[in-house]
Homo-oligomer: A and B are copies of this chain.
Amino acid sequence: MPYDPSAFPPFAVTVDLVVLTVRRHALCALVVRRGESPYQGRWALPGGFVRGDEDLEAAAARELTEETGLLTHTPEGHDAGAHLEQLATYGDPQRDPRMRVVSVAHLVLAPDLPSPTAGGDVRSARWAPVDTLSCPGDGLAWEGEQQVPLAFDHDRILLDGVERARSKIEYSSLATAFCPPEFTVGELRRVYEAVWGVVLDPRNFHRKVTGTPGFLVPTGGTTTRQGGRPAQLFRAGGATLLNPPMLRPEV
């Protein structure tokens, strides 16, 4: 039972971020171009080392702000900002050729922002539709006309993050994290359609989502930014768990 704190192997601990948003009816992830070896010039998930006195979630929030300018709200805080939660930890001994690196991946859900990569170089960071970044199973990313895999094991991390987001909007109100503070039922429906890659019946969706207690709170305002008849504006209600859940259509 070698629980001796002075005789431990040397590890580096990083955080990697799966930052998702919905742009032009497509689920997109933030990727940055690597400037250094290994995987120089390849696209990768944003991330970096955890500092010696820093909590894991704080490190993730710091990296997010550094790379996107986005602020986060923890599960309790209800300020404007992105949703941040821990995703999973990846620690294959060979995942970084330089040394043993354990990466604690985090998932960020953000609304579509005017300046998505504020503070960053346009050519070194971009939103990429997730279905162009990885075809399930082969882990390749489109680069011009040819597919290049993401750096490290980031294709796997991205896939896990996307699947987490897809399943979590079923039974939680997290889909509102993809929306601006005030949004319409139609905008929320387009979030579900983009994340799940399906088409939903607008009428049943409307009835379902407005009938789920605590999900949506009307603000009183209306908007015609989508064209057509003016739509009522809502903001996210207090409920975090949806009961009954939104059901993802089969097959």
Contact = CB atoms under 8 A, between A and B. Distances in A.
Q: How many copies does the complex hold?
A: 2
A11 B9 contact: no
A10 B10 contact: yes
Given A36-B3, A102-B56, A102-B102, A51 B9 contact: yes
Contacts of A250: 243
A91 B50 contact: yes
Interface in A193-235: none
A48 interface: yes
A93 interface: yes
Given A55-B91, A92-B55, A93-B54, A49 B9 contact: yes
A121 to B, nearest CB: 11
Interface of A is mostly: loop
Contacts of A98: 5
Interface size class of A (residues with CB under 8 A): 35 or more
Given A2-B49, A3-B48, A3-B49, 16 more contacts: A1-B66, A5-B12, A8-B12, A9-B51, A11-B11, A11-B12, A50-B91, A50-B102, A52-B93, A53-B93, A54-B93, A55-B91, A56-B102, A86-B88, A102-B102, A102-B104
17 contacts: A3-B36, A3-B49, A5-B101, A8-B12, A8-B49, A9-B49, A9-B51, A9-B52, A10-B10, A10-B52, A11-B11, A11-B50, A13-B91, A50-B91, A54-B93, A56-B102, A102-B104
